[in-house]
Amino acid sequence: MAPGPPSSRGAWHSRAGFLMAAAGSAVGLGNVWRFPYITGENGGGLFVVIYLACVALLGLPILIAEVLLGRATGLSAVGAFRRLGGPRTPWAGVGMLGVAAAVVILSFYSVVAGWAIHYTALSTRGALAGLSAERIAETFGQLAADPLLSTAWMVLFMALTTWVVARGVHRGLERTAQVLMPILLALLLLLLVRAAGLPGFGPGLRFVFGLHADELTAGGVLEALGHAFFTLSVGIGGLLAYGSYLDRETDVPKAGLAIAGLDTLIALLSCAVLFPIIFTHGQEPSQGPGLIFVNLPIAFSGMAGGSFLAAVFFVLLVLAALTSTISLLEVVTAYLVDQRRWTRRRATLLSGGAITLLAVPSALAGGPGFFGEGLRARLGGSWLDLAADISSNWMVPLGGLGIALFAAWRWNDLDRQREFGRSSRLAGLYLIWLSLLRWLVPVAVVVVFLHAVGVI
Ligand code: TRP
């Protein structure tokens, strides 16, 4: 069995701290920005049910596998695969793919997170209050098209992320999540109370939770699966690294349930806040990525206390994004620390700096230049669109598949079962967990890929 991690790698100081950090990783733009708009595009209802099934049957088993692989080896992804599969194992490639995916995700995620800071600033100044719908829509277009502004907010966000990760596992990752996550939940509940008093509350909830399938397509089912992986932060070794800082007494299957449960709760609460506001103010739910940057501000501008509520919402978005970008940078950092023996400081500063440069083309995505208009004309999407598409639709599912296959087929059964059952009240679910990883996850991911390339 692998020896415990060298103390210089860092460790969680409490189980609650680990849970908050992992939930913080999972809860992000995926929950508050993307999930509501894809739910809107797919007509709500049945889409949500399919999404819940994907989280429970595909995402959660991988989440548990990642944390267990990290804890068993005391190493982040590449090192963990090497320790269990041999020094020359090709599975290490799955870890490398994860590091690359983290870089690509961060390079667009930080731009969207930067927009959220901009909207926080706008709403606290009351700059959107009383503007016409057209003017509010223009504001978003102008921000996305302004290379300096988009870049400046992105750089600020990356600097914040790098600073937290450089402070280490306990003082950076754990403490930040323990402070920010309760605030996030409180802000969300505050907005929920306000949304509950609106005439659109009933229609909003019926839209999200009612069983209707009118707008669901095969593509929507696949989107639900891709999003289930993304929202749980599985597939790129982030939770594997988080597991490597974990003690042996934690009940990992139970922790996995808690993390996935909290992530799902926050995604659904976000919808329960957004759609009533959207419906009350005559906006359409199916507006795509602009839903919270255009339609939501339009709705807020017509509400009493709208500027305040908008500020609350965008602060919430910034906090959610930050605890996620931290975990993305941690993937790269943990790799450099474990495999290249860099100090954490050096690893974060250099990788954070490099990713900031790589994010610049995404920050130019709304503009007229090559990375915006140019690529849109040639490839149908800006640099940001392409980075989001390649990472979430290809790299993350492929990484999740790799981790599932390694854990379920390559990992020694005795060790695997011992790790799963260690201090766990859910040890009896071992065979169910293993079968989902062995059969359902590979079949589902392969079906998604075949559909994506047009075979089925
Ligand atoms: N889960 C986060 C969200 O929903 C994003 C995220 C953080 C992520 N770490 C990840 C996605 C690792 C995939 C893999 O916003």
Written as one string, the DSSP assignment of 145-171 is H-HHHHHHHHHHHHHHHHHHHHT-III
Name the residue among 300, 252, 293 with its Cα closest to residue 276: 300
CATH 1.20.1740 at 15-452, yes or no:
yes
Checking if the pLDDT of 4 tops 70, the result is: no
| Cβ–Cβ under 8 Å, residues 327 and 305 | no
With a CB cutoff of 8 Å and minimum separation 6, the contacts of 11 are: 5, 169, 170, 245, 246, 247
Checking if the pLDDT of 233 tops 80, the result is: yes
CA of 354 to the centre of ligand 1 (A): 20
Assigned token pair, 213: 């399938």
Helix 92-124 × helix 396-405 angle, to 10°: 140
CA of 264 to the centre of ligand 1 (A): 13
List C-alpha distances in Å: 305 to 115, 143, 270, 314, 416.
Answer: 22, 24, 19, 15, 54
Checking if the pLDDT of 3 tops 70, the result is: no
Q: Which protein residue's CA is at the shortest distance from atom 8 of ligand 1? A: 233
234 or 377, greater pLDDT:
234
Checking if the pLDDT of 1 tops 50, the result is: no
pLDDT tens per residue, range 76-88: 999 999 999 999 9
Residue-level pLDDT at 210: 84
The pLDDT mean for the chain works out to: 93
The residue to mutate among 103, 104, 231, 265, having the most atoms of ligand 1 within 8 angstroms of its beta carbon, is 231
CA of 99 to the centre of ligand 1 (A): 13
Q: How confident is the model over 265-282, as a mean pLDDT?
A: 94
CA angle (393 as vertex; 242, 381 as ends), nearest 5: 125
Ligand 1 site, residue 31, Cβ cutoff 6 A? yes
Distance CA 439, CA 436 (A): 6
| Cβ–Cβ under 8 Å, residues 226 and 392 | yes
Which numbered atom of ligand 1 lies nearest the CA of 25?
A: 7
Ligand 1 site, residue 150, Cβ cutoff 6 A? no
Q: Where residue 7 falls among pLDDT bands split at 50, 70, 90? A: low
Q: How confident is the model over 49-73, as a mean pLDDT?
A: 97
Which numbered atom of ligand 1 lies nearest the CA of 26?
A: 1
Percentage of residues in the chain having pLDDT higher than 90: 79
Residue-level pLDDT at 425: 96
List C-alpha distances in Å: 300 to 56, 128, 130, 314.
Answer: 34, 9, 9, 12
Distance CA 318, CA 115 (A): 9
| Cβ–Cβ under 8 Å, residues 270 and 188 | yes
- Burial string for 397-419 (b: 16+ CB within 10 Å, else e) reads bbbbbbbbbbbbeebeeeebbeb
Name the residue among 60, 111, 32 with its Cα closest to residue 291: 32
129: left (phi over 0), alpha (psi -120 to 50) or beta: beta
CA of 60 to the centre of ligand 1 (A): 14
**Domains in the chain: boundaries:** 15-452
Which numbered atom of ligand 1 lies nearest the CA of 33?
A: 15
Residue-level pLDDT at 382: 86
pLDDT tens per residue, range 304-355: 899 999 999 999 999 999 999 999 999 999 999 999 999 999 999 999 999 9
Which numbered atom of ligand 1 lies nearest the CA of 327?
A: 9
Checking if the pLDDT of 193 tops 90, the result is: yes
- Sign of the dihedral defined by the CA atoms of residues 367, 310, 116, 327, in that order: negative
CA angle (58 as vertex; 212, 416 as ends), nearest 5: 160
pLDDT tens per residue, range 194-230: 999 999 999 999 988 888 777 788 888 888 998 999 9
Ligand 1 site, residue 25, Cβ cutoff 6 A? yes
Ligand 1 site, residue 48, Cβ cutoff 6 A? no
Distance of CA 102 to the CA centre of its chain: 11
Q: How confident is the model over 358-362, as a mean pLDDT?
A: 95
Q: Which protein residue's CA is at the shortest distance from atom 9 of ligand 1? A: 233
377 or 351, greater pLDDT:
351
Checking if the pLDDT of 2 tops 80, the result is: no
Residue-level pLDDT at 375: 86
Q: How confident is the model over 355-363, as a mean pLDDT?
A: 96
Ligand 1 site, residue 30, Cβ cutoff 6 A? yes
Which numbered atom of ligand 1 lies nearest the CA of 234?
A: 14
pLDDT tens per residue, range 121-166: 999 999 998 889 999 999 998 998 898 999 999 999 999 999 999 9
Give the containing element (helix H, strand E) for 53: helix 46-54
Q: Where residue 380 falls among pLDDT bands split at 50, 70, 90? A: confident
Checking if the pLDDT of 184 tops 70, the result is: yes
338: left (phi over 0), alpha (psi -120 to 50) or beta: alpha
List C-alpha distances in Å: 370 to 115, 145, 357.
Answer: 21, 12, 16
Name the residue among 435, 7, 15, 450 with its Cα closest to residue 225: 450
Q: Kindly report each contact of residues 452-456 with a partner whose C-beta sits within 8 Å and lies 24 or more positions away, as own/partner.
A: 452/222, 452/393, 452/394
Checking if the pLDDT of 26 tops 60, the result is: yes
Q: Where residue 299 falls among pLDDT bands split at 50, 70, 90? A: very high
Checking if the pLDDT of 16 tops 90, the result is: yes
